[in-house]
Amino acid sequence: MTPQKNINFKFIAIAFLLLFTFFSQAQDKKAKDLLDQVASKVKSYDNIVIDFKYSLNNAKENINQDSKGNVTMKGNQYVLNLMGVTKIFDGKKNYTIVPEDEEVTISTVNEKDENAITPSKMLTFFNSGYTYKMDALQDIKGRKIQYIKLVPNNTKDQRKEILLGVDVQTKHIYSLIETGKKGTKTTLTVNSFKTNQPLSKNQFTFAESKYPNYYINKLD
């Protein structure tokens, strides 16, 4: 899988794990109150299924990339589909399935790894690494979207800021916009937000038997 696809998946995974994780200690009281409401709403669901649009833009480098994807989440598990690649996290291991290359990469998540994408890691990461404040309130297709700005405290962080858009009425995440210091803007917009869907008992289970001709790359 190309490095660009790895970057895409990391951004998407972080974006959706935010739904479950970082809402606890915003410095701005209004921002904290809104995030607490979002967290309370999200935690009341058994599972969440989202269809989304992903965009990557950099005018200076003449990069414009748009893709559609979907993610199913339940507790500490998720299945993510984007750009023809499927990523499964069963709570312990990551399975990245690339049909184009007929390859599956399996890796164990190390909680101590700073780059590990897990809900528990995200909780610590955002509480200690960002400042929060209310940003613009926009009317988008009849919906009131309140943006909250997150600014990294680490000056070496390549991200300038992150804008998290929240639907004021439903308290659901509408969008997440990440702006890099070099001009790259990555946007994730939620097209469909469904909850408490009937899921297969094997929804988050990887079955190697389904990929008889694939190269299984076990990193651990």
Six-digit token string for 59: 């005018």
Q: What is the per-residue pLDDT across 3-47, written as a single tens digit (0 to 9) for each?
A: 445 445 666 666 666 655 544 444 578 887 887 788 778 888 899
- Close Cβ partners of 201 (under 8 Å, ≥ 6 residues apart): none
Question: 93: exposed, middle or buried (C-beta count within 10 Å: 0-12, 13-18, 19+)?
Answer: middle
Which pLDDT value is given to residue 3?
45
Query: Long-range contacts made by residues 206-211, C-beta under 8 angstroms, separation at least 24?
Result: 206/88, 206/90, 206/93, 206/95, 206/104, 206/106, 208/104, 211/97, 211/102, 211/104
Q: What is the pLDDT of residues 182-193, one digit of tens each?
A: 889 989 899 999
Name the amino acid, one letter, at 69.
G
Which amino acid is residue 3, in one-letter code? Answer: P
Give the pLDDT of residue 121.
Answer: 40
Tell me the pTM.
Answer: 0.79
Check residue 124 and give its pLDDT. Answer: 33
Residue 2, pLDDT score: 47
